[in-house]
Structure 1
Amino acid sequence: MYPPSPAAAPFTSADGAPDGHLTAVAAVDLVKVYGTGDTAVRALDGVTVGFARAQFTAIMGPSGSGKSTLMHCLAGLDTATSGRALLGGTDLTVLSDKVLTKVRRERIGFVFQSFNLLPQLTAEQNITLPLDLAGRTAERGLLARLTEVLGITERLKHRPSELSGGQQQRVALARALVSRPEVVFADEPTGNLDSRSGAEVLSFLRNSVRELGQTVVMVTHDPAAAAYADRVVLLADGRIAGEIDRPDRASVAEALQHLGNQR
C-alpha cells in the first residue's frame, strides 16, 4: 500500500554504497539481533535505506517494529549484528570505540525525549559542551542566532532546574545544532512536552532544514509530529514497510493503522 519510492535509498553502486553527495546517513543490509538461541529477537532484519541530506525524515512503525533500534545503530549508539551503518562515507560498524566516540561528538547531533542536560552547568555551558569536549570554539554568530530563534537568549545563565521542560528541550536543540553536525538524530523529542512546546520544537527542526540545510532523522509515534517531516519511513517487524512523501497527519495515521492491521 505504501511502497518505497526510488528516492527512498539513493544508492548508486553495485555494493549498495550510498552517493555521499545525496545521502547523509544510510543503512545497508543492517541486521540487529538481541539475545541468542531460542530467546533471540531479530530487531532489524536486513534494512537498507538512505536518508537524504538537508531533509527532515521521520521513522515510524508499530511498537517493536525496530524504529529506535535503527536510529541507534545509525547514530553509533548501538552495535549492529551485521551490515553497515554509514555516515557519509564512514562505516560506523568497523570503528573502534574511541574513534566512534569522536565521530559521534564531532559529526552527529542528538536530541532525546529526556533532554539529557547536565544539571550543574548553565544553559550556555550545556549548549557548548560537545564543542568544549572536542577542543573547538563555538561560532558566536551561530550560537546567538540559535538561542535567539529558540527564545532562550535571556535564559543562558540559568541551570536546567530553573528552566521549563520546553526551554530545556530548546537548549538541547541548540546543543545539537551549534556544532553544525552532518545529521541530527531526534528520538521522540516532544515526548515530555505539552502540545504547544512540542509544536514549537518541531517547527524549529523543520526550519533548521529549510534555513540551515540541516539533516534531521526523527523517531516518533505521533502522526502529528511526523507531519512536520518531508518524508516518513515506515518499519514493521524489523523491515522497511514503505514510505510516505510529503506526509500529513491523516496519511500517516492511515499508514500506521494499515501496518497494525497486518500484524
Structure 2
Amino acid sequence: MDTTVYVPAGDPAPAPDGSGRAVRARDLTKTYGRGEAVVRALDGVDVDFEQGRFTAIMGPSGSGKSTLMHLLAGLDSATGGQAFLGQTEITGLGDKALTRLRRDRVGFVFQQFNLLPMFTAEQNITLPVELAGGRVDQAWLATLVETLGLSGRLTHRPGELSGGQQQRVAIARALIAQPEVVFADEPTGNLDSRSGAEVLSFLRRSVRELGRTIIMVTHDPSAAAYADRVVLIADGRIAGDISDPTPESAMAGLDALRTLEPAVTTGTSTRTGA
C-alpha cells in the first residue's frame, strides 16, 4: 500500500543515516544563567535512539528529561554539542529550516491534547497535512483510525470525546504526515489509569504494527514499561539504560537515581556514548 501523504515543497528530506539510528545526541549541553548562577540542565549528553522502536526517557523531576526531548525535537536551542534527526544536524539549522523540519519530519504528542474545539476529530487529525498544503492519504488515515480505535468517533468534536479518546485523536494527528519520529511528553499525565493504559497500548501498537519511532518522556515507571527501552537521566547526564523494561525494573532504576546510587540496569544493558 502506498502510504505517502505528500511531498513537501523544497529539498527532499535526507535519508536515515544508515545505522538504524533515528535520533542521536553528541555532547549535547543546555545551560541557563551565567557565572555562579549558571544551571546545567544538560551536561554533555551522548545518546542514540533506534528507528522503529519505542523508547522512554525517565528521570526524577528536574533531571533534564524534558530539556533533552525539546532539544532533540528542535523545540529549543542547545548551548553546545549536536543533535541529529537522521542525517540532519538540527542544532545547525536556522528558524525556517527548523520550522520545516518540525512540520514535515517530526510529530508531537503532549500532556495537553491541544485539539481545536470547533473541529471534528477527523478535521483535527488531518489539519497538519492541510496546513502544509498537502493531500490526505485516505488509506493511511483509515489505517490510523482502525489502529487507534477511532471508528465511529470521527464526526465528534473534542467536547464529545473522553480524555483517552482525545489523546488518541492527538496521536493520530501526530502520525498523519508519517513523521520519522514522534515525541511524546508525558502523554498520559491528564488521564486516569485506564485511559492512560489504553493510550500507551496504542502508542506501542503504532511502533509494532505501523513501524513508527516514538520517544516518550515520563516519570511513571508503569508508563515506561510499555516501551522497548528506557533511558535513565539524572542531573543532566545519561545515567543508565534498561532493555525490555518492566514496572519493577523501571521503578528500581528511578529509585536508584533518586538516592544517587548507580542506576539499576536489566536485560541487555549498554552505556550510551559516541
Distance 2:113 2:35 in 1: 36
TM-score scaled by structure 2?
0.87
Residue aligned with 2:140, SS: helix
Q: Does 1:85 align with 2:83?
A: yes
For residue 117 of structure 1, the aligned residue among 115, 118, 121 is 115
1:107-137 per-position Cα deviation (integer Å, ceiling 9, x unaligned): 0011000011122222111111111122111
Q: Which residue of 2 aligns with 1:148?
A: 146
Q: Which residue of 2 aligns with 1:252?
A: 250
Distance 2:141 2:17 in 1: 31
Q: Which residue of 1 aligns with 2:100?
A: 102
Residue 21 of structure 2 aligns with an amino acid whose one-letter code is T
Q: 5+ residue gaps in structure 1?
A: 1-17
Distance 2:34 2:161 in 1: 44
Superposed displacement of residue 36, structure 1? 1.9
Percent identity (aligned) = 68
Superposed displacement of residue 151, structure 1? 2.2
Distance 2:195 2:32 in 1: 35
For residue 160 of structure 1, the aligned residue among 143, 158, 161 is 158
Q: 5+ residue gaps in structure 2?
A: 1-15, 262-274
Residue pair 2:147, 2:206 contacting (<8 A) in 1 also: no
Residue 239 of structure 1 aligns with an amino acid whose one-letter code is R
Superposed displacement of residue 31, structure 1? 0.3
Report which stretch shifted further, 38-47 or 48-57.
Answer: 38-47
Q: Which residue of 2 aligns with 1:12?
A: none
> After the TM superposition, which parts of structure 1 deviate over 4 Å for at least 4 consecutive aligned residues?
none
Superposed displacement of residue 50, structure 1? 0.5
Instruction: Spell out the pairing of 1:14-163 with structure 2 (5 A cutoff).
Output: 19-163=17-161
Higher helix share: 1
Residue 59 of structure 2 aligns with an amino acid whose one-letter code is G
Residue aligned with 2:152, SS: helix
Distance 1:168 1:46 in 2: 37
Q: Which residue of 2 aligns with 1:9?
A: none
Distance 1:43 1:119 in 2: 35
1:158-215 per-position Cα deviation (integer Å, ceiling 9, x unaligned): 2212221111101001001111110010000011111111111111111111111111
When the two structures are aligned, how many residues end up with a matched partner?
Answer: 246
Superposed displacement of residue 157, structure 1? 1.9
Residue aligned with 1:154, SS: coil
